[in-house]
């Protein structure tokens, strides 16, 4: 016949496949879940992170509102006057001052960040729009009005319409509620600008409208000696987030693909006779295989679309909580179609690739064997050990051979090396299973049956072990990095002394004094304030004529206070010098004799002071210098909260290192006071431990799911063997023990191989890091993988060996 | 009539599959007893209930009505653990195919009931090797089933069926997948074991094979319709 359609066989067979799926819909359930879940995770996480991650435009608005240009005016009004002649008449100009302020009401005094701007400049399209956001009420329009942030209103116990006093502005009526978009919980004061701003820094925000004009104007302003920033110059975005989501999602798809391959292999073996019939009717093997792959891919497409919808629905449902979680205004919910499409695409590809090998194997079984139900003998291709060794060698070479690393580059070496090591160990699994089966003769019956079964069905078990290997290797890598980082953190200065508690918030002083009154272990309490001039913190720089060049580990601020501050900071040894008004330098570099005071990090030089060096015996990142309050005031400085903190934190020093109980007592005090928190060195690594715990749990959970699917598949394939065991009188405990041992062995093999696979990239990453982080073996996590996973998996397989498990088996296959 | 301590006895046994309008009476009521050392063949056309009868005899299934006894023990009164013990120590079962565990060698398959009963590996393998010698397969003891012919696999299954102190062998069409010569060899083995005191029940649809037995029971539509004793 002429004009034969070359794809007719594939289409016909694909119809047969899809009808088979419709006839046994539960067979599809496993594949649907394995594809839909990672797609949902990628699509949902991509959308969430897209909303949570500031866009380029949001970053520009953070820096300069709606303005095209910003002129910094360190000299205050004088700089503003110099700029005015250069500005075209049609541009919109807004003057804004930013600094620190104190708000007083009802006997309470709270410190906050200050923004001074005209109400009109906050309107939509005006230059200051977006720098601060009005949540309620209106912006202040004259010197008798002010807008406060929600945290200030709550801390002071005031509301719209109430009166408060500003330390640098007198009494005002609260007319509005205002927040900083990037820190909605931070204390903020918005008022109208004064004619002369005595504190803080002033800026001119200029809206030009045309980017080209803005660029030319910026050039003219710079030529006039004015510090000018352009909106177009802010270009950074956080593309790393999207890449991380897709990278993690790819690992999930790879594991899903391995399990799909195992499950499909079992299903196709059960359909041997049916496939044999197709061959007997003239279906070409290639068409049979193609039809299986196509039907799997189509099913994966449907599952992926469902997963994308589900993931985005979850992201949308959680949207109302984004602001509370992140402490910033995150904007409206916007879908990330790129992640959804990528997720669906990856799901389809993973399913199709996973289906290919079992489909080809099933289609190539001789028709007579397939019709007779004869199972083809298991064999490992001779080339597989060679490929495994080759991949391992190349992976280790990329990790540790300098010429190879130089050729490929550091980053690709780490990733490529890790992937090749995992691939190499994965390729070695069939050979390892076969070897285990061969060596099982002297082993007792139940483990012998498990080893022989694992080896016999290695075509199905190898992908399962590889999936465990990939997942647990990720956990081992992360565990090694975290364990090493935690070990290295000891070499870095801690934020606080181990005997300090730090209260922050509106009621920090009250909480600290309450703790001192109720505990006999408190040596001293003191506020941590720094010397400031014109609202800017004084920065002390080492005098270049005296000091050694090594970097100090402390912050360059000058803490001001009384004797209690000395005790809190552990500098009692210099009490006499402190009383004389001398400047103390805490744990300075060798040879330090004097420092220069600056007005802010990039400000003008103020004065040079001799220092008295004090050794506190602790490597902490606290203030580097201490000065008496009276001495600071004589030098023209005032006391302000440390940079980056709107309110003055209160330090409490105990007579011994802080214990978990001490921290719990302090936390209880803080929780009773809204907006107040407590911190300590002990609490610093809690987030790291929490993250690591979550990662480990996720990897164990993933491994368990994979193993339980494997257990169900194993049960499906060994029904005949189980029947034989029953007829020769195997007690139920032996039948369950056989199935449990089989699952436990697969888990143990995967976990054991995951140890070298996970440690290799960790060692490489640490060696390449710019900081000196010695490698620390995460033995606890390794033991958890080697012991916990096999035990739990065996236990669950034991439990599933009953009728419930048989129903699950039938459903899956 | 039930005889005390008979290796196998059926007393008004019935087996019905399903319930209600779809219920199918596969067997019964049947009553018979097998004497110690007797070789009984069960014959009948397809669907006559032969395999159902053998499954009930091997404690692989439970009767709907009536009593199945092995060595005087009513099987319905035994716990699942006790039934398993019976299958390990007293009953040997041979199917038409899929008898052996593909993951175990011939000697390991033959030793399986002994190992399941707690015998040490060396002791179990020693007895299994002796059983394989009896069926002339000792030289293939360490081969896997995939490397044995159909007849060799059946002989291994028979060795497993009489290894140890078991007294009752049940064979369900053991020669169905074999050529006639090999089938004759298998039946000669069964006959030899019965001559040594083993009690055997053979299900077959082949009269030539049934002629090896001491007594033939004919089944039709789930009932015993005739009985004969072949001339030997």
* Phi, psi for residue A560 in degrees, rounded to 5: -125, 140
Asked if the Cβ–Cβ distance from A728 to B100 is below 8 Å, we say no
pLDDT band at B107 (very low <50, low <70, confident <90, very high): very high
Asked if the C-beta of B60 comes within 8 angstroms of chain A's C-beta atoms, the answer is yes
Residues of A in contact with B80 (CB under 8 A): 732
Interface contact flag, A728 B112, Cβ < 8 Å: yes
As given in the structure block, the two tokens for residue A389 are 């060794």
Question: Residue B8 and residue B27: Cα distance in Å, rounded?
Answer: 17
Is residue B15 a part of any domain in this protein?
yes
Query: Quick one: pLDDT at residue A524?
Result: 94
Choose the mutation target among B84, B89, B114, B153 for the interface with A, i.e. most A CBs under 10 Å. B84
State residue A611 phi and psi, 5-degree precision. Answer: -125, 155
Nearest CA in chain B to A449: B103
CB contact under 8 A, A731 and B146: no
DSSP summary character for residue A382: T
Token pair 């309107």 is found at: A123
Q: Using the structure block, give the residue that is written with the tokens 């801690």.
A: A494
Pairing of strands A536-542, A594-599: antiparallel
Residue B1 falls inside a structural domain: no
Residues of chain A with a CB closer than 8 angstroms to some CB in chain B = 377, 437, 441-442, 444-445, 448-449, 452-453, 455-456, 720-721, 723-732, 734
As a three-state string, the secondary structure of A251-274 is: HHHHHHHHHHHHHHHHHHHHCHHH
What integer pLDDT is reported at residue A545 of this predicted model?
47
The answer to whether position B92 is within a domain reads yes
Question: At which residue do the structure tokens 């009494």 appear?
Answer: A171
pLDDT at residue B104, rounded to an integer? 84
- Nearest-neighbour CA in chain B from A741: distance (Å): 15
Q: Do A728 and B86 touch (CB under 8 A)?
A: no
Helix (H, G, I), strand (E, B) or coil at A283: coil
Helix (H) or strand (E) holding A348: helix A337-363
Counted domains in chain B:
1
Q: Is the Cβ pair B100, A724 closer than 8 Å? A: yes
Tokens, residue B36:
């110690």
Q: What is the mean predicted confidence (pLDDT) over B55-59?
A: 87
Q: Look at B116 and A445 and tell me if their CB atoms are within 8 Å.
A: yes
Which is more confident, B219 or B146? B219
Helix (H, G, I), strand (E, B) or coil at A249: helix
Q: Which residues contact A536 (CB under 8 A, 6 or more apart)?
A: A99, A200, A201, A599, A600, A603
In angstroms, the CA A329 to CA A359 distance is: 51
Q: Which residues of chain A fall short of a pLDDT of 70?
A: 1-6, 27, 74-77, 107, 109, 168-169, 195-200, 235-244, 247, 277, 280-281, 368, 371-383, 488-493, 543-553, 601-603, 646, 675, 684-692, 695, 716, 770-771, 802-813
Contact A208, A125 (CB under 8 A): no
The overall average pLDDT reported for chain B is 87
Q: Which of B102, B167, B172 to mutate to test the interface with A (most CBs of A within 10 A)?
A: B102
Please give the Cα distance from A325 to A754 (Å, whole number): 35
CA dihedral B164, B168, B173, B178 (to 10 degrees): 30
How distant is the Cα of A733 from the closest Cα of chain B, in angstroms? 9
pLDDT in tens, A299-357: 999 999 999 999 999 999 999 998 888 878 888 898 889 889 989 998 999 899 888 98
pLDDT of residue A688: 62
Q: Chain A: give the shortest CA distance to residue B56, in Å.
A: 12
Q: B115 vs chain A: nearest CA distance in angstroms? A: 7
In a domain, B127, yes or no: yes
pLDDT at A74: 64
> With contact defined as beta carbons under 8 Å apart, do B24 and B17 qualify?
yes
Whether omega for the bond prior to residue B29 falls within 30 degrees of 0, making it cis, is yes
Comparing C-alpha atoms, which of A236, A300, A238, A235 is closest to residue A46? A238
Q: Please tell me what DSSP assigns to residue B5.
A: T
To the nearest whole Å, the CA of A729 is away from the closest chain B CA by: 4
**Per-residue pLDDT, B203:** 93
Helices (H), B117-220: 121-134, 150-162, 180-195, 207-210
The answer to whether residue B210 is domain-embedded is: yes
Residue A494 is given by DSSP the state B
Whether residue B2 is contained in a domain is answered as no
Identify whether the C-beta of residue B216 lies closer than 8 Å to the C-beta of residue B230: yes
Q: How many residues does chain B have?
A: 232
> Residue B25 domain-assigned?
yes
- Return the CATH number at B167: 3.40.50.300
What is chain B's percent helix, strand, coil content, to nearest 5? 40, 25, 35
Q: What percentage of chain B carries pLDDT values higher than 70? A: 97
Nearest residue of A to residue B161, measured between CA atoms:
A728
Residue B3: which pLDDT band, with cuts at 50, 70 and 90?
very low
B65 lies in some domain: yes
- Among A234, A347, A362, smallest CA distance to A288 is for A362
Of B69, B56, B68, B75, nearest to B16 by C-alpha is B56
Range of the domain at B213: 8-227
């Amino acid at each position: 016949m002429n004009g034969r359609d070359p794809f007719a066989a594939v289409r016909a067979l694909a119809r047969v496949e899809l009808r088979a799926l419709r006839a046994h819909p539960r067979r599809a359930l496993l594949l649907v879940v394995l594809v839909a879940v990672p797609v949902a995770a990628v699509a949902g996480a991509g959308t969430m992170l897209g909303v949570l991650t500031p866009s380029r435009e949001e970053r520009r608005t953070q820096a300069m509102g709606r303005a095209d240009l910003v002129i910094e005016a360190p000299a205050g009004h004088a700089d503003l006057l110099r700029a005015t002649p250069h500005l075209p008449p049609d541009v919109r100009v807004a003057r804004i001052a930013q600094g620190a302020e104190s708000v007083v009401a009802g006997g309470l005094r709270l410190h906050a960040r200050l923004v001074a701007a005209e109400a009109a400049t906050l309107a939509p399209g005006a230059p200051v729009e977006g720098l601060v956001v009005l949540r309620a009420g209106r912006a202040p329009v004259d010197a008798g009005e002010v807008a406060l942030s929600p945290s200030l209103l709550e801390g002071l116990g005031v509301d719209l319409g109430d009166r408060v006093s500003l330390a640098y502005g007198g009494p005002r009526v609260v007319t509005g509620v205002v927040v900083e978009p990037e820190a909605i919980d931070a204390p903020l004061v918005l008022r109208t600008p004064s004619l002369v701003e005595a504190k803080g820094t002033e800026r001119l925000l200029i809206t030009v409208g045309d980017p080209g004009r803005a660029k030319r104007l910026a050039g003219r302003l710079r030529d006039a000696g004015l510090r000018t920033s352009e909106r177009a110059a802010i270009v950074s975005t956080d593309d790393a987030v999207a890449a991380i989501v897709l990278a993690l999602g790819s690992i999930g798809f790879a594991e899903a693909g391995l399990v799909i391959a195992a499950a499909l292999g079992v299903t196709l073996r059960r359909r041997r006779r049916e496939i044999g019939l197709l061959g007997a009717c003239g279906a070409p093997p290639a068409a049979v295989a193609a039809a299986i792959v196509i039907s799997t891919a189509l099913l994966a497409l449907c599952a992926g679309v469902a997963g994308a919808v589900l993931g985005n629905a979850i992201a949308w449902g959680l949207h109302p909580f984004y602001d509370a979680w992140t402490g910033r205004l995150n904007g409206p919910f916007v879908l990330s179609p790129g992640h959804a499409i990528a997720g669906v695409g990856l799901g389809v590809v993973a399913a199709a690739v996973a289906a290919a090998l079992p489909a080809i194997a099933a289609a190539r079984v001789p028709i007579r064997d397939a019709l007779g139900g004869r199972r083809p003998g298991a064999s490992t291709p001779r080339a597989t050990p060679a490929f495994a060794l080759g991949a391992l060698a190349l992976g280790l070479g990329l990790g540790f051979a300098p010429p190879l690393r130089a050729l490929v580059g550091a980053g690709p070496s780490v990733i490529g090396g890790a992937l090749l090591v995992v691939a190499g160990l994965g390729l070695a699994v069939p050979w390892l299973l076969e070897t285990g089966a061969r060596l099982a003769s002297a082993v007792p019956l139940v483990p012998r049956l498990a080893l022989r079964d694992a080896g016999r069905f290695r075509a199905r078990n190898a992908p399962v072990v590889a999936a465990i290997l990939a997942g647990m290797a990720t956990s081992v890598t992360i565990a090694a990095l975290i364990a090493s980082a935690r070990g290295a953190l000891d070499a870095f200065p801690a934020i606080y002394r181990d005997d300090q508690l730090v209260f922050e918030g509106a009621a920090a002083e009250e909480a600290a004094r309450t703790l001192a009154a109720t505990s006999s272990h408190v040596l001293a309490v003191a506020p941590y304030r720094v010397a400031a001039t014109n609202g800017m913190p004084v920065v002390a720089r080492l005098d270049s004529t005296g000091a050694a060049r090594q970097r100090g580990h402390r912050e360059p601020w000058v803490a001001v206070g009384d004797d209690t501050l000395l005790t809190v900071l552990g500098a009692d040894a210099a009490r006499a010098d402190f009383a004389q008004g001398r400047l103390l330098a805490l744990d300075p570099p060798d040879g330090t004799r004097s420092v220069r005071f600056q007005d802010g990090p990039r400000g003008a030089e103020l004065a040079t002071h001799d220092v008295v060096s004090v050794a506190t015996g602790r490597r902490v990142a606290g203030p580097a210098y201490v000065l008496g309050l009276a001495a600071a005031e004589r030098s023209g400085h005032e006391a302000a909260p440390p940079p980056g903190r709107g309110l003055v934190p209160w330090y409490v020093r105990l007579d011994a290192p802080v214990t978990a109980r001490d921290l719990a007592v302090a936390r209880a005090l803080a929780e009773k006071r809204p907006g107040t928190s407590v911190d300590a060195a002990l609490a610093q690594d809690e987030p790291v431990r929490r993250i690591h715990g979550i990662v480990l749990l996720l990897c164990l959970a993933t491994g368990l799911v994979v193993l339980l699917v494997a257990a169900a598949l194993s049960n499906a394939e060994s029904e005949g063997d189980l029947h034989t065991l029953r007829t020769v009188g195997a007690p139920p405990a032996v039948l369950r023990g056989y199935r449990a041992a089989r699952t436990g062995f697969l888990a143990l093999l995967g976990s054991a191989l995951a140890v070298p696979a996970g440690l290799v990239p960790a060692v490489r990453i640490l060696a390449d890091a710019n900081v000196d982080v010695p490698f620390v073996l995460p033995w606890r996590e390794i033991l958890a993988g080697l012991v916990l996973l096999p035990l739990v998996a065996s236990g669950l397989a034991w439990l599933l060996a009953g009728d419930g498990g048989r129903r699950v088996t039938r459903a899956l296959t | 009539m039930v005889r005390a301590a008979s290796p196998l006895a059926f007393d008004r046994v019935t087996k019905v599959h399903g319930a209600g309008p779809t219920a199918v009476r596969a067997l019964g009521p049947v009553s018979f007893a097998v004497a110690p050392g007797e070789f009984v063949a069960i014959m009948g056309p397809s669907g006559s209930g032969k395999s159902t009868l053998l499954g009930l005899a091997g404690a692989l299934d439970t009767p709907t009505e009536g009593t199945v006894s092995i060595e005087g023990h009513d099987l319905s009164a035994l716990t699942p653990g006790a039934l398993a013990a019976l299958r390990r120590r007293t009953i040997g079962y041979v199917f038409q195919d899929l008898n052996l565990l593909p993951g175990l060698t011939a000697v390991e398959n033959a030793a399986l009931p002994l190992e399941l009963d707690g015998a040490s590996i060396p002791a179990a393998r020693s007895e299994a090797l002796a059983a394989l010698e009896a069926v002339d397969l000792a030289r293939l003891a360490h081969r896997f089933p995939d490397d044995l012919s159909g007849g060799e696999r059946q002989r291994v299954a028979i060795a497993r069926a009489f290894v140890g102190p078991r007294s009752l062998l049940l064979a369900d069409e053991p020669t169905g997948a074999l050529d006639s010569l090999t089938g004759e060899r298998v039946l000669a083995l069964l006959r030899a074991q019965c001559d040594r005191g083993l009690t055997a029940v053979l299900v077959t649809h082949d009269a030539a094979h049934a002629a090896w037995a001491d007594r033939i029971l004919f089944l039709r539509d789930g009932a015993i319709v005739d009985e004969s004793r072949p001339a030997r």
